[in-house]
Amino acid sequence: MAKKGLGKGLGALITSSTAAEQPRHEMIPIDSISPNPMQPRRRFNEESLEELADSMKEHGLVQPIIVRPSGTGYEILVGERRWRAAQMAGAKSIPAVIREAEASECLQIALVENLHRDDLNGIEEATAFRQLMEDFGLSQDEISQRVGKSRSAVANSLRLLQLPVEVQAAVVAEEISPGHARTLLALQGDPYQAVLLQRIIEDDLSVRQTEEIARRRLGGSEEPVQRQKPQSLGEYADLISAGLRTKVRVIQGKRKGKIIIEFKGQKELQRLMSEMGVSAEEVG
């Protein structure tokens, strides 16, 4: 199936309507250019940048970046990755297309460019959508039209921002996929959400496996989470581990059991004591 077009695309976004506003092509000093502060992409793969820099040293930069005048210099609209690689390659100047753009256009252009290249992780994409709504007053329908995604896809992306910080961080670090994250949304408010997050990472669970585990946790229902009592020592250990944010083992002997809580140093021990409501003064 052919990939759906991304709205009007970059061509429409970077083409001005009047002759007076037509973009100019120039060689611009590297140090006169700054990144777009509204750039939704926050992570740049260093190895990929080095490969591009090596290519530039050998062949030069074929495709110019796109900038807009800003203060005494220029601000990048499209091509921050190329600009970073050119810096690494030791270039003093870089070919650029100069055009005028309003603040709202800057984010839209950066977003569409990255969507063309699938460069944004799920959280970066959702954050950009939220910024378009909050800062520029766009509706979900308007966003979907501009970036060529369905309204439901935009809505589902925004839902990822409801997740706890640690789950969002795992998406940004590419430890889990947006599909995993959407599945974890079903466990909002359930302490087992943190447990399942760790299982996804440690056991390399697929999205389908994660969905099956979540369904079992929900009792095979799509209703709001009905918390279930732990059925085994392992589940008790998982819940305690999620609450204390460290590895915990629960061992049951013939007459008594014990809970083993692991820690890596004095700082973590103090954190665990605080989590359990124990102060250093009480220990002394």
Tokens in use for 71?
């203060």
Are 168 and 160 contacting, i.e. CB atoms less than 8 angstroms apart? Answer: yes
Tokens in use for 268?
């973590």
Query: What does the alpha-carbon distance between residue 133 and residue 110 come to, in Å, rounded to a whole number?
Result: 15
Are 203 and 232 contacting, i.e. CB atoms less than 8 angstroms apart? Answer: no
Active-site annotation holds for 80: yes
- Residue among 219, 41, 19, 10 at smallest CA distance from 118: 41
Helix (H) or strand (E) holding 25: strand 24-29
Residue of 75, 80, 124, 125 with catalytic role: 80
Are 94 and 65 contacting, i.e. CB atoms less than 8 angstroms apart? Answer: yes
Are 51 and 119 contacting, i.e. CB atoms less than 8 angstroms apart? Answer: no
Catalytic site positions: 80
